[in-house]
Every structure is written in structure tokens, then in C-alpha cells.
Amino acid sequence: MLKATAIARSRASTIGWIGLGAMGHPMALNLFTKTYLAHQSQSGNTRIQSPKYTICEQDEGRVSSFLSELREKGGSELASSVERVGNGREMAKAASRIITMLPSTPQVESVYLDGTDGILPGLLALSDDTPSLTSSSPSSSPRSQEIKEGGSESVQRVSSSTTYSSGLSSGKTPLIDSSITITPPSSSASTSAGAIGAHTLLVDCTTLSPTSATSIAQRIHQETLSRVFMLDAPVSGGTVAAKKGELTIMFGSPSAAATGLAVPLLKTMAKGDRVVYCGGNGKGVGVKVCNNLILAINQIALAEGLALGESLGIDPVLLHDVINTSSGQSWSSRVNPPLKEIDGSPASRDYAGGFQSRLMLKDAGLALEAAAVLDLPIPMTWAAKSIYEAVCRESEGEWATKDFSVVYEWIKKKQLEGVERGWKADPTET
């Protein structure tokens, strides 16, 4: 029993991260370092257990790079304490807070739902030799049921013998209210959802199909009897904002209780009040897909305008500056201009890094998929997707991994080639 209690305590205080790619790396770095350093500032409070950290990433190079930077920012003690697991199932057993940042829908479905290595099977396999991490069954308490159905009440602290916190605040009071009670395990069900704990939190930051995001969350909630909370929390701002911890995070949440647990974690990666509640499960991803639909079109529009201006003999930097003080301005023109003359622009580094063209192609496809479900025409998005498909084929596929603002080079190339009639303005038509 002592061993089981120790396991429960360790899991309760562990934050897990799956996916250390271009966005996942800086996001996890901010989450880990900020929670760790905040706890260090509260070290006088013996009732707050130090957070533990676990990662899951298959690429050895990414793991090495992440741990190296974590050591620089958070110190060797933090970096050396990070544990690593091989799959979602193992992560579910190790951590009660799990955040994922994955490429797209297929990977999310696999990590969460795979019958052998998924997070869901791992949660369901938590046996009754691990004490229940819950103060009461969420479905049995009238108050809990009210919260489950989206009530406005905030999460209450639970009377407990031991308090655990991720220690997220900058002051003396922890932002995350994750009090738990270690109760004896049930003797009736070795793999029951009751052993999972009411405070297990899953947050997926992937941009994926809104329909899939909703169905995955519904399955998690149904099979765990709502003792596990799952949110979709995609991000906006790109790698620059991710590194600075200044992302905008839009999230869909099943309840006020889930929101109360998730927001303090999300704030470590976002700027100010840019953690935005969008509605129930799937709504966060829905907002992100709409946002990226606009972004895809804006970047192409900027590229066309700059390319036309260059052909007219206009100084591209001058044109860029005028655009940014006029009605044509956008995030693309202010933050992501495709001009090598501008320091820090994607073009100044040969479009390396940033938001890859293949990912923008993916997001345009997600928007079209969402619209198709509703039988809605979105012609500009269809055109944008066809352009990014062409961009991704350039240079034997090399442009697929360049920043999506490389569409500017594609448009200039087409102008030089003398593209087919459909791309030209015809002065004879009225």
C-alpha cells in the first residue's frame, strides 16, 4: 500500500509532454522551466510537492536538443530530473497532466486511442493497486455533475491530507488548484475508471480536424466516465511567439472544472490574457482552423502584391512599409514578410524554420474538410490550398519544409516563366 501511495503521489505531481517538434520544443521548455522555477520560489511550503516532468519523443536529436536547452534555462537539476517514456500508454501511467503537440489528426488519434500504446488504454489500465486520485466520484456528486455539465462555479479545494501543486504562480499562492485526496483503492474493479482520478487532465495543442477533436474527447470522457478531462488547445503565433512564451491559445473545454485545471498550465506558454475559452470540445480547434484559413489567404495576397509591385519597379521595402501603415496590413506583412532586405524575416534566412509550407497546406485542408462536413463552399481556401500544393512540390519537395511565406518566391517564379492564361489578367475582358 505504501508503494501504491507513492506511485499515486508521483503521478499526481507529474507533468507530461508528448511531441518536441518545432512548436512542442519551445512550449514544453516554457512550461517546464516556469513551473519548476515558480516552485523553487515557494520551497518554504512543505505541503507543496515539487513538480516532476516526463517527456515522450521518438527522435533522439530532438530529445538531446530539448534537454540541453532545458539545462541552460532551468538548471542541471531540472534537466537531470526529466524522465522519458516510449508511448502514450506509459505516459498515462506516469503523469496526471499530459500535454500533446503533434503533426495532425492521424498522430493524435494514434497517441490517444491506439489499442496497444495509446493514452486511453493506459488510463483504463490503471489498476486498483494505485489509490484513487479523487475526492469523490464526479458523476455521483450533485455539485460535480453541475460542473461537469458546464456550470459556472470554479473548482473548489478538496479537504486532503496532502496537497500537490505545479507551483505556477509568480507570487506565493499556486495558480493551479490541484488538491487531491489519496483514498484507498476500490476492491471491486482492478481496471475501473475510478482508479484514474478525477484530476487527470489531457490537453492537445495540435491543429487537427474539429470533428476529430470532438470525437476523441467524447470517447475519452465516455470510457473514463468523465473522470478524465480532455481539452483541445491549439496555438497561434508561430515559433517566435512559442519561444518567447507569448502564444495565443484558444481552447475548447468540457467543463469549468477542466478549465480551472488547464488555464494555469496554458498561461505559462501564452502572453497576458491570450488564453481564450472558445466553448466546448472542438471549439478551440474550430477557431484555429478559421484563423489559419485567413492566414493562408493573407500570405498569398501579400506575396502577390509585393511581386506585382516589384514588377512595376517599386522598391519592395517601401511598398512593405506603406502596406503596414495602410489598410492592406496583416500579421503576414508585419511579422512574416518575405523580403530578405528586412532583418529577421523568413527570406533573410532562406525561409528556414518558421511555419512550414506543408503545415499550411495541411491547415487549408482541415478548413476544407470542416466546410465539406457542413456543405459550405469556401472558394478562396480552395484556391489557397491548390497554391500551397504547388509550392510544396517545388525543388523536388524542398520548399515543403520552408516557411510558408516562400509562396512569394513561387509567385515570382511563375511570373518569370509566363504562367498559363488562367493566372494572367486579360485586358480584353471586362
DSSP H/E element including 17: strand 14-18
User: Is 3 a catalytic site residue?
Assistant: no
| Superfamily covering domain 289-423 | N-(1-d-carboxylethyl)-l-norvaline Dehydrogenase; domain 2 (1.10.1040.10)
Identified catalytic residue from 288, 362, 385, 402 = 288
Place of cell 522555477: 37
The pLDDT mean for the chain works out to 83
The pTM of this model reads 0.79
Burial per residue of 190-228, b for 16 or more beta-carbon CB atoms within 10 angstroms, e otherwise: eebbbbbbbbbbbbbbbbbbbbbbbebbeebbebbebbb
Mean pLDDT of 300-305: 98
Domains of the chain by residue range: 2-280, 289-423
Confirm whether 2-280 and 289-423 share one CATH topology. no
DSSP sequence for 231-286 = EE--EESHHHHHHHT-EEEEEE-S-HHHHHHHHHHHHTTEEEEEEEEEESTTHHHH
pLDDT tens-digit series, residues 249-285: 999 999 999 999 999 999 999 998 899 999 999 999 9
Q: What is the CATH number of domain 2-280?
A: 3.40.50.720
Which alpha helices (DSSP H) does 268-345 contain, by range? 283-311, 316-323, 331-335
Other C-beta atoms closer than 10 Å to the C-beta of 405 total 25
Place of cell 484513487: 132
Q: Which residues contact residue 64 at a Cβ distance below 8 angstroms, ignoring those fewer than 6 apart?
A: none
pLDDT of residue 43: 65
Q: Compute the distance between CA of residue 11 and CA of residue 186 in angstroms, rounded to an integer.
A: 18
pLDDT higher than threshold 90 for residue 42: no
pLDDT tens-digit series, residues 87-135: 999 999 999 999 999 999 999 999 999 999 999 999 999 854 444 433 3
pLDDT of residue 46: 54
